[in-house]
Each structure stands twice: as structure tokens, then as C-alpha cells.
Structure 1
Amino acid sequence: MTQPAVLILPGLGNSGPEHWQSWLQDRLPALSRVQFGNWDAPALEDWSSRLDEAVRAAPGQVVLVAHSLACILVAHWAATATDATTGKVAAALLVAPPDVESPDHTPPEVHGFAPVPTAPLPFPALVVGSRNDPYCPAARACAFAALWGADFIDAGDAGHINPASGHGPWPMGEALVKELAASL
């Protein structure tokens, strides 16, 4: 069986060169980054269209590797995309979803992605949350996983799982992506 395409889905501001998604892409060059366009003023409809195009363009099955705002994007996209398109997604890794409904936890640029979708995802997913993520309390990230029918992984005190919290290289993320791709 052929390996699935792995799509990197960065959040607000893109994932810079020190981010674990960029580190992972350097280590596993077959990964592709979806270019959402305006990284600093995200628009749900635009980002969702670009995700849909990327999934449809993939030659076979797809594994989504989302960080932060892109986790919420995946849930919105899955709720509105056709079954034929979502059927191409073999699995999703959703790392550090932000609480886009909370003005106390997230910047105003992401509030256009509210409300958080509550429908189960039509594909297997893992949500990785942190006990001290400044953009989403761990209990809320765990609740997202439950709503989406996803498994939840407690990453401990890992902040927002980004360079600011010491996650340039993130071996746990690499292992999870490899596990998801190998399980297909």
C-alpha cells in the first residue's frame, strides 16, 4: 500500500523555521505544507477552501498534521466538506487547539473561527493538549477531543507546543505522525 500524503497545517502566523512543524518537514521531506495565504488575518472560508483543494489534489489518502488554529479549521472543514473529500483523510493529528470562543485566551484574529464545531470528525483523530497552554485550558482541549470523537493525549506542561514553549524539535510529534501514517 502506498504511503499517505502528509499535509502540514500551520496556525495563525504560519509555523516559522524554529517551529516543530518546520522541523518535522525538514526531517520528513515528503510532507507538504498547505499555504493558507494571509497568515496574520485568517479568514475561515479562505483557509477552508485551501484545505479542501489540498486534500482533493493529493493522489491518495491524507494525514493532516494541524497546529493551533488549524485544528479548529479541520473541524470546520470536516463539517462542511463533501464525504468524498473527507473520505480521503485517513487520520488527523490536532496539536494545541486554541479556544477561539474565549476572548481571555486567544487573540481577536482567531475569533472568526468561532464557534468551535461540535460534530464528530468523519475520520480518526488525535488531539494533543497541554496542561499549561495559554490559549486553551487542558480541560477544554480534552472536551474538544470528546466532541470530535478523537483520542486525547495529555502532553503535560508543554505550553502551546511551539518554539515559545521549547518545541522546535518535538520527537513526540514525529512519533505520532509516523504512527498514524504506518497504521493505514
Structure 2
Amino acid sequence: MLSCAQTRWPPRLVTVPGLHGSDGAHWQSWLERQFARSLRAGQDDWDAPDLAVWSAALANCLAAERGPFLLAAHSFGCLVAAHALLRGVLDADIVGVLFVAPASPEKFRFAGLFEAAKLAVPSILIGSETDPWMPLEGARTLAQQLGSAFVNLGDAGHINTAAGFGPWPRARYFVDTLVHGAAPARLRDEAFDASGPAFA
């Protein structure tokens, strides 16, 4: 049955940028403006990728906020989000993840050990045929390992500002797809609690 806690739906969008962060013209910045109460996972040093440090920063960001959350990650941020979920770093209600142009774990061996496995939450992984940071087949393999639905975006570079991905309506479509896909499970799994909070 539906609980009053369910009235916190839809989840809050949380963007997880990659190396060097995402500028104001980046699709992640645009996407944040499409959703009320969206968040961005910050880092003390955007130029020093470290899976453990960045995952802890993501966890700290969400620990201070009220969920549920849906993550929209880009590049190295995809590895961070997956790492945090798989290692149990996140003590937060994550209902889905959008991975866009994940960086190759091989290129970031120096940033810490990344071991892919099936996630416990729904996810979509978007790959590109011309991404310098991850070959298409590598992205497809990672999607299989994580249990993600896979989308080949074609000739899309690194799916960033330089590749022309500022305002990107399809990103919102992918987020909405994850939200609507997660909602039925919550409707089924939540127990009714008449003393729960009202709309968040």
C-alpha cells in the first residue's frame, strides 16, 4: 500500500559531475534547472579524481538532505556513483541512476579500484560511438555489468558541452523514464503510515 512517505515523490535530482566539474552550459547544469530542489554533488578538488574521496563527498551531500534521490552522473562521475552504490557508501534512498558517457575504469586506475557488478536500483547507461573516454563496446559491457539499460547515442563525442550537449531534452526524458519505472515498485513496497509527513 502507499505510505504517506510516498508523498515525497518524485525523487530529488542529484547531478554527479566528472573530472573538472560541469560548467554552466553543460547538460547537467541545464538539467538541474528543470527540476525543483535539485542538488549537485560537490568536490573539494575537481582536478584530483579519487573514487573513495569523491564517493564519500557524494554520500555526505545526500546525508544532509531528504530523499528519495535520483542520480544523473557524467564521465568519471558515473564511476563515482556506481562505486558508492556498490560499496555501500551511500546511506540514502536512491531510486535510480542515469549514467552518461562513463569514463573508462582503465583510464582511471590511478583513482582507485573500480569493480562493476549489478546494481540494486534501476539505471540507464548512455554511450557514444565517438567518445574519447570510453569505446562504445566498453560502455555496452559496463551497462551489462551494472544491469543498466543501454542506449547508443551515436556520434555524440563525450556528451558534454564541447560536443554540443547543453540543453538536452532527452536527458530529462531518461530521468522521467527512471522515475516512472521506480514508482510502481515503491507503490508496491511501501506500507501505509498515517502518521507520516506530508508533501516534501
With normalisation by structure 1, the TM-score equals 0.87
- Asked whether the 8 Å contact 1:132–1:159 carries over to 2, the reply is yes
- Asked whether the 8 Å contact 1:12–1:68 carries over to 2, the reply is yes
Q: 1:158 aligns with which of 143, 156, 159?
A: 156
Shift of 1:96: 0.4
Measured in 2, the distance between the counterparts of 1:164 and 1:60 equals 32
Q: 1:50 aligns with which of 31, 43, 57?
A: 57
Mark the structure with the bigger radius of gyration: 2
Match of residue 32 from structure 1: 39
Which 5+ residue runs of structure 2 have no aligned equivalent? 1-6, 184-200
Shift of 1:57: 3.0
Match of residue 90 from structure 1: 95
User: Following superposition of structure 1 onto structure 2, how do residues 90-169 of structure 1 map, counting pairs within 5 Å?
Assistant: 90-102=95-107, 110-169=108-167
Match of residue 17 from structure 2: 10
Which 5+ residue runs of structure 1 have no aligned equivalent? 103-109
Identity rate of aligned residues, in percent?
A: 35
Deviation by residue 1:53-103 (Cα, 9 ceiling, x = unmatched)? 223333231101000001011121112116x826x110000100011314x
Q: Higher relative contact order at CA 8 Å, sep ≥6: structure 1 or structure 2?
A: 2
Amino acid of the structure 2 residue aligned with 1:117 = E
With normalisation by structure 2, the TM-score equals 0.81
- Asked whether the 8 Å contact 2:31–2:172 carries over to 1, the reply is yes
Please provide the CA RMSD for this pair.
1.7
Secondary structure of 1:119's partner? coil
- Asked whether the 8 Å contact 1:44–1:112 carries over to 2, the reply is no
